[in-house]
Structure 1
């Protein structure tokens, strides 16, 4: 995680955005007269949103826990992907 002030972020915008996308880095932009912001890749954001959705209910959490336990105990099987 990288923390930069607003001016540094703005002056090195392309470099900071490349760091976010190329290195999966999260950048926190500190602002002196406002709330700080977080800059992350869209891929990282979407991943977080998916995780939040998957654990959004007790039923989902229970099913995920059961699936993990099945995998750990060897009760799962690998299959090849079907390609079109």
Structure 2
């Protein structure tokens, strides 16, 4: 992880973008009033988003399993598809 101020980034943007994509580095751009931002490769961003979605999905599964263990599940009859007959 690299921290750099806005002015330095602006003067060396190509180099920092290359660092993020070529070396998978995360660049923290420090700004006034703590309005910092992060630069990362699209590949790293997509992986982060995938991890977040997976975490949310697993949390839903955990909540569902807890409900079943507490006897809060509901028994439903399957609807038969007429095309399958």
TM range (shorter): 0.5 to 0.7
Alignment of structure 1 residues 17-56 onto 2, 5 Å = 17-33=17-33, 35-56=35-56
Question: For this pair of structures, how many residues does the alignment match?
Answer: 62
Higher helix fraction (1 or 2):
2
TM-score, normalised with respect to structure 1: 0.66
Runs ≥4 residues deviating over 3 A: none
**What is the Cα-based RMSD across aligned positions, in Å?**
1.9
- Sort the Cα spacing of 1:9 and 1:60 in 2 relative to 1 into closer, same or farther, 3 A: farther
Paired with 1:8 and 1:53, the residues of 2 have a C-alpha distance of: 34
Structure of higher CA gyration radius: 2
What secondary structure, in the 3-state scheme, does the structure 1 residue paired with 2:9 have? helix
Shift of 1:54: 0.8
Shift of 1:40: 0.4
